Amino acid sequence: MWIKKADLLQVAVRPAQYPPEGPPEIAFAGRSNVGKSSLLNLLTNRKHLARVSGSPGKTQTINFYAVNDDEFRIVDLPGYGYAKVSRSITEKWGEMVDAYLIDRGSLKAVCLLVDIRHEPTGMDAELFGFLAHHGLVGPIIATKSDKVSRGAYAKQASLIRKTLGAAADTPVIPVSALKRTGVEELLNAIEPWIYAGSEGKN
Ligand SMILES: Nc1nc2c(ncn2[C@@H]2O[C@H](COP(=O)(O)OP(=O)(O)O)[C@@H](O)[C@H]2O)c(=O)[nH]1
Ligand SMILES: [Mg+2]
C-alpha cells in the first residue's frame, strides 16, 4: 500500500459536519506536540497538509483526509493534554472525540501516537483503554525515533505497551518524521485494518 495522493475532505467539530460514511477510516490521536502533524505530512508526502504547530493545543477540529481519491481516509483527531488549555477545552475535546469514536461505522482503528522516549501519560492510557473497550486499537506509533538508538526500540516498545495496558502482539511502530523513517512499516501495519471487513477490528 502506498499513499499517492491525499486531500483535505472536511474539517468538523460535530457529527453533522462529518463527511458521509463510506471508505474505511484510520484515525490518529495523541497528545499535543507528540509529532502528529509532522507524521501526517510525511505519510501523505505533503509539506503542509497538517499544520506543524508552533502553538500546541490550538487545533481543536477533526480533519478528514481522502487518500488516493477516497480509497480510504485518514482522520486527524485533535491533540490533547496541553498543559495550558482550560478545563472546558479538555471537556470539549472529550465530547468531540467520543462522538466520533463511538458511533462511526467506517472507523476501523485508531493509531495512538506516543513519544518513543517517554512513558505514556495517564491521558494516553485512558484513551487507549477507551479504544480497547470499543475494539478500535490500531498500531501504536512511537514518534521521534531519531531521539533514541535503534537498540533501544524494543525496550521502549515494551515500556509503552506495559504503561498503556496493550497486548504483547499490539504493534509498536517507531517512526521519525525528521529522518523520514518508519513510514513503510507503518503503512504495512495499518493495511490489514483498511482492507479487512468489520471482523478486522480487534
Ligand atoms: N526530533 C524529532 N522532532 C520531531 C519529530 N516529529 C515532530 N518533531 C517536532 O516536535 C514538535 C511538535 O511536532 P508537531 O508535528 O507539530 O506535533 P503535534 O502537536 O502532535 O501535531 C515540533 O517542534 C516538531 O519539529 C521527529 O520525528 N523527530
Ligand atoms: Mg498538530
> In a structure prediction context, what are the per-residue pLDDT tens digits for the chain, which is 202 residues long?
789 999 999 999 999 999 999 999 999 999 999 999 999 999 987 766 666 555 554 658 999 999 999 999 999 999 998 766 677 777 888 899 999 999 899 999 999 999 999 999 999 999 999 999 999 999 999 999 999 999 999 999 999 999 999 999 999 999 999 999 999 999 999 999 998 864 444 4
How is residue 85 written as a grid cell?
Answer: 488549555
What protein residues have CB closer than 5 angstroms to ion ligand 2? 37, 53
Q: Please tell me if the CB atom of residue 176 comes closer than 6 angstroms to any atom of ligand 1.
A: yes
Cα–Cα dist 145/149, whole Å: 8
Which one of 33, 38, 173, 183 would you pick to mutate in the ligand 1 pocket, going by the greatest count of ligand atoms within 8 A of its CB?
Answer: 38
Tell which atom from ligand 1 comes closest to the C-alpha of 30.
20
Task: Please state, in angstroms and as integers, the Cα–Cα distance from residue 14 to each residue in 34, 94, 96, 171, following that order.
Answer: 24, 12, 7, 31
Q: Which positions ≥6 away from 58 have C-beta within 8 Å?
A: none
| CA 90/CA 92 separation, integer angstroms | 5
Query: Would you state the pLDDT for residue 60?
Result: 83
Determine if ligand 1 sits within 6 Å of the CB of residue 144: yes
CB of 161 sitting under 6 A from ligand 1: no
Residues 6 or more apart in contact with residue 49 via CB below 8 angstroms = 6, 8, 40, 41, 65
Give CA–CA dist 66/150, Å, rounded.
33
Give the Cα separation of 182 and 187 in Å (integer): 9
Class of domain 6-196 (CATH, top level): alpha beta
Radius of gyration of the chain (CA): 16
